[in-house]
Chains A and B, each alone.
Chain A
Amino acid sequence: MDNRVYIIGRDSVPQYLRLDAGEELAMTLVVPPGTDVQLALEIDLTGPGASLDLAGLYLCREAERVDLRVLVRHSSGGGTSRQLFKGIVGGTARAAFDGLIYVAQDAQKTQAYQENHTILLSDAARVESRPQLEIYADDVQCSHGATTGYLNPDELFYLRSRGIPEAEARRLQMVAFLAPVLRRLPEPLSEEIYAGLS
């Protein structure tokens, strides 16, 4: 399966995608630091057995405004969708993620999952997460999870007690947090993001 990578602010991102019977799509969205964005993306699984693998990450360090809205619509049965969005938000940035999984009445045997995790780095940063499920079919497995939190001080202590300087240790924590999305990116891009975490 091809993995399409879109860098917000550099690439143009489609607003609407349709997946027909048996079609598969893997897609990764990257919001690099310093990008203000308001993005609305709708993906419609219209054919039976379509499959979507969607991931995204957003990094905000200063005064960015990031607003991501993702609608995944299962209009046909037997489809699978997976979403994973991760964000690190610092400075005075505001980041919002709004993700809706819609399962129509005929879309039996749908499997849909969504996750959104964010880490706050500063007092003035704000995050909002609205993971939503709208389900009209009964024979489905759907779940979502959302967390917001901070870099674990125990982990930091562990790394520092092993001689890793604090700044480097924090960077490692962030890399580990982002890893599930980072490893979907081509190497030059993930290198660039590594370098940007400091």
Chain B
Amino acid sequence: MDELIKDLSAQEYKEGFVTEVDQEYVPKGLNEDIVRLISAKKGEPEWLLEFRLDALRRWQRMTPPQWGHLKLPRIDFQDIIYWAAPKRPEDRPNEIDPALMETFDKLGIPLREREMLAGVKPKGEVAVDAVFDSVSVTTTFRKTLAEKGIIFCSFSEAVREHPDLVRKYLASVVPVGDNFYAALNSAVFSDGSFCYVPKGVKCPMELSSYFRINAAGTGQFERTLIVADEGAQLSYLEGCTAPMRDENQLHAAVVEIVVEKDADVKYSTVQNWYPGDAQGRGGILNLVTKRGICKGTGSHLSWTQVETGSAITWKYPSTILKGDYSSSEFYSVAMTNNWQQADTGTKMIHLGRGTRSRVVSKGISAGHSQNSYRGLVQMGPAAEGARNYSQCDSLLIGSLCGAHTFPVIRNQNPHAVVEHEATTSKISEDQLFYCNQRGIAPEDAVALIVGGYAREVLSRLPMEFAVEAQKLLSLSLEGAVG
């Protein structure tokens, strides 16, 4: 085994290329003028500018949180470009810059709506909102969706075309002053996706957002707002990549999800930001606030995440279970290699009676990485008959990495039940020997065992994503064992 665990070689990050497009930027730094400039560039209404300025003032009084089990490099918030966008003809959206088209093609994201064959129902199609640095370049299948009354567009468009909806729900789940990075995002957020599924509508296809950081010296601050009205149903995917650079780049997003009575939302993430090189240089700092609220009776929200990228991940997709008998799940695979650090987990806040939640977290650490699960399960005084089950497993590959579990369980109701268990272990010699003996090479054997270990989570992902995620896991493991 010792022989197997050799020094980690730099794995290949195939999304690490840079696209040459004409970009326009706002000046470096952050102050009221910059916020006004961003707002003006996006042609925003007065109320949104006020919202941003309020957030900026709050942010200026806040300090970055220190409680994560992370060694964060000092971030100079005045040394970041807060808005960068590809220049393009004004008559959008007739034509997408071919260079951009190529970029997304290379990443395997279809920006052209595939032509339908006569009489053949398209199967497994995905509507995509593609965000390049600070702007959304295109959103596909909008017409098909609009026929059902579903709104799926970039956040900026939603502000222009559906200001009432945006105003009603914006910051209703993640308040402006929620935390340092959420306040920063509220001040400078660029683009993101907006999705509204009306009463009783089942979304006919997967919705997805694809985020790409391209410009150097910038950060990405997208904002996503998803609203599922009564009885609606949708499944949403999120993917992300960035070029290889020696400096750290900041990604501070906010995702808000509102789930009304009997609605069902499934939110999946495959996070593959550039993780930095084998020496721990560069990589994305992924400092994200994601939260959903199960507002109505019987609503349901499911989080699935596969985290393989980013130099640092600080992310806790959470659910507030407010509606009676609402339920939520959190399935996570977090894989860290080389010098990556991840501090991720979930919060399940049970307020309504009979609410249920389930947490399954699988951490995998290799190389010199540190991987932590941090979670909160809270049973409020009114959470009569609520139930939670959490399971957090950690797998260690190599003797230089760390795996940590920091759950908090808070129970304020004598008729609520919380169960939590966690284990830490490594891939046993016996398992490896068994595979080797049957002619499976050590690296394949590790990939096989890790795949089996993460299966419970991966099987929750939509089909195409599951295959992709499995590949991503074995790719991230490359070089972890000889």
Interface residues of A (CB under 8 A from B): 105, 108, 118, 120-123, 125-150
Contact = CB atoms under 8 A, between A and B. Distances in A.
Contact of B414 (A105, A121, A146): A121
Interface in B367-390: 379, 381
A132 B403 CA distance: 11
Contact of B411 (A132, A133, A142, A148): A148
Contacts of A132: 404-407
B84 interface: no
A105 B421 CA distance: 23
B404 A134 contact: yes
Given A131-B420, A132-B404, A132-B405, A120 B426 contact: no
Contacts of B424: 133, 135, 140-143
Interface stretch (B19-27, B50-58, B106-114, B391-399): B391-399
B42 interface: no
Given A130-B406, A142-B424, A120 B414 contact: yes
Nearest to A131: B407
B418 A136 contact: no
Contact of B426 (A105, A139, A146, A150): A139
A105 B406 contact: no
20 contacts: A118-B411, A120-B411, A126-B411, A127-B411, A128-B411, A129-B409, A130-B406, A133-B405, A137-B396, A138-B398, A138-B399, A139-B426, A140-B396, A144-B405, A145-B419, A146-B420, A147-B419, A149-B416, A150-B414, A150-B415
Interface string B399-434: 111111111111111111111111111100000000
A8 B413 CA distance: 27
A131 B406 CA distance: 7
Given A108-B399, A135-B404, A143 B417 contact: no
Given A128-B409, A136-B402, 16 more contacts: A118-B411, A120-B411, A126-B411, A126-B412, A130-B408, A133-B394, A133-B424, A134-B404, A138-B396, A138-B398, A140-B426, A142-B424, A143-B422, A146-B409, A149-B416, A149-B418
Given A134-B402, A138-B401, A150-B415, A123 B409 contact: no
A97 B69 CA distance: 20
Interface in B62-88: 69
Nearest to A96: B410
Nearest to B396: A138
Contacts of A142: 423-425
Contact of B410 (A121, A128, A133, A150): A128
A126 B407 CA distance: 17
B400 A135 contact: no
Contacts of B396: 135, 137-138, 140
Contacts of A141: 423-425
Interface of B: 69, 379, 381, 394, 396-426
Contacts of A125: 412, 414
Contacts of A121: 414
A173 to B, nearest CB: 14
Contacts of B401: 136, 138
Contacts of A127: 409-411
A111 B303 CA distance: 33
B404 A123 contact: no
A148 B378 CA distance: 11
A130 B407 contact: yes
A108 to B, nearest CB: 7
Nearest to A132: B406
A148 B377 CA distance: 11
A138 B426 contact: yes
Contacts of A122: 414
Contacts of A147: 417-420
A137 B365 CA distance: 11
Given A138-B398, A150-B415, A144 B421 contact: yes
Nearest to B69: A134
A116 B242 CA distance: 43
Contacts of B394: 133, 135
Q: Top 5 A-B pairs ranked by shortest CB distance? A: A138-B396, A120-B414, A148-B411, A133-B405, A143-B423
Given A143-B424, A147-B418, A120 B413 contact: yes
A83 to B, nearest CB: 14
Given A120-B414, A138-B426, A133 B404 contact: yes
A161 to B, nearest CB: 22
Contacts of B400: 105
Nearest to B421: A145
Contact of B417 (A123, A138, A149): A149
Contacts of B406: 130, 132
A145 to B, nearest CB: 4
B413 A123 contact: yes
A133 B419 CA distance: 16
Contacts of B423: 141-143
